[in-house]
Structure 1
């Protein structure tokens, strides 16, 4: 297994493969949007279900509150993600314009910045001057280096609309799963809650495992960690609702 992995690495780092990979540019990754939306959707919806059960509300209330929360919260989260991604893009554009202006108006000062950046990396003397000359003859390269080295920024590959859409769809798709048992009228309230908890647990575990696959993390550990996070949130919702039910002496169904 290790030898096979080593061979794959060697193959991926052949000159032609490297040239091809770099020519394609950075990939657009939305795994974080999907994971965030899925986990939050499942936690949010199952917390509503748990809170309804803890408060002693009938199944119909859990369904109504669950679906209302599902779409309202999903939309709110998608909009928040859009605004966040859009703000990052706008900030990047403002920095790009500022650096372009600096290169245009004070090129000697910007050259000195490049010189000091690469001097700090260990370049000296004639080699340092050759590096500075080479970089500053290409304004696009010059700008990218200033973004990366001075501002710790890179050209954003995330599309705010795509990020928001992925978040919303994953929120709805995963968040609806804990509500499925409540759509079956043949089940008792206890059976509905047990089935809902079981399905939510599966979703938490699967999302954790999918996240680990994308990030090359241990499958089981990531699945258990996400499961514990979702379970803790649901437990807090249940016991909070139960406590308030007792405090205000609300009769259950």
Structure 2
């Protein structure tokens, strides 16, 4: 969401004027729902791409450390892309599906209680806002306003009593977003080997070309993570590069010390 991103940037920069512009009433009222919808799946895309790059390059580094042929790199790299990509997508789908089911069950329970035990639920609303510091006539007005509308009443119980903020994220779309971004990110370390297959003169430099391409991709995708984790882009990029590099070095070392098993 552009307005929220501006508010975050203003906070990081300590700019009260920019923060005030981000909180103008006309901008808050004009915020479109589809902007929020896109933001729901941004984390799936960025994290899927980053995992794809790191895990596939770890395979590339491990196979290279074992001194196996570039063909093996492609075979294992592509197998990792499909296997890990499907696994991540399934995990994302099942996680989101479980969360949606849990929220729905809790909402149904709260609605049932509101309809069958209204006085008890009204007392819970009163206690919630009493603990927030309200009392007397103001407290009763708040309770009356909330309980006058069934949907608002249930929403309040979900948020204030159960601390559940319903995101309404589509599990299938989240899983597909993760899968596609994993495939796109994970294909990057294999680009040099694919080009080496098309142009034999590049075969001797396939690994180092992959190192350069992957390092640039890691930093770029890591920088994009700053949108999700709200860190400075350069720090997020360097963190991603460091984690990916560490994984690659570890995989290369394992392949190097076990290369005799492949002969």
Give the aligned partner of residue 118 of structure 1: 129
Contact 2:100-2:168 at 8 Å conserved across structures: no
Partner of 1:237: 251
Give the whole-Å Cα distance in 1 for the aligned partners of 2:181 and 2:81: 11
Runs (5+) with no aligned partner, structure 1:
none
Distance 2:23 2:34 in 1: 16
In structure 1, what is the equivalent of residue 3 of structure 2? none
Which range is displaced more, 149-158 or 54-63?
Answer: 149-158
SS in 1 for 2:258: helix
Question: In structure 2, what is the equivalent of residue 207 of structure 1?
Answer: 221
**Distance (whole Å) between structure 2 residues aligned to residue 187 and residue 225 of structure 1:** 34
Aligned length, in residue pairs: 248
Contact 2:96–2:171 (8 Å) recurs in 1 = yes
Structure 2 gaps, min length 5: 1-8
Equivalent-residue separation in structure 2 for 1:86 and 1:97 (angstroms): 16
Give me the whole-angstrom Cα distance separating, in 2, the residues matched to 1:156 and 1:219: 26
- Runs of 4+ in structure 1 displaced over 3 angstroms? 5-9, 23-26, 187-190, 213-216
Contact 1:27 1:157 in 2 (8 A): no
Confirm or deny that 1:130 pairs with 2:144.
no
Corresponding position of 1:27: 36
Q: Measure the CA separation in 2 of the matches of 1:116 and 1:58.
A: 69
Q: How many Å apart are 1:124 and its aligned residue?
A: 0.5
Following superposition, the deviation at residue 189 of structure 1 comes to 5.2
Using the TM superposition, give the Cα deviation of residue 9 of structure 1 relative to its aligned residue in structure 2, in angstroms: 3.4
Inter-partner Cα distance in structure 2 for 1:224 and 1:54: 24
Does the 8 A contact of 1:48 with 1:65 survive in 2?
A: yes
User: CA-atom RMSD, angstroms?
Assistant: 2.2
Distance 2:110 2:26 in 1: 33
Q: Deviations over 1:44-79 (max 9, x none)?
A: 111111111111111100011111111121112111
- Verify: 1:79 aligned to 2:90, yes or no: yes
TM-score relative to the length of structure 1: 0.90
Residue 9 of structure 1 is matched in structure 2 by 19
Given that 1:31 and 1:211 are in contact with CA atoms closer than 8 Å, whether structure 2 keeps it comes out as no
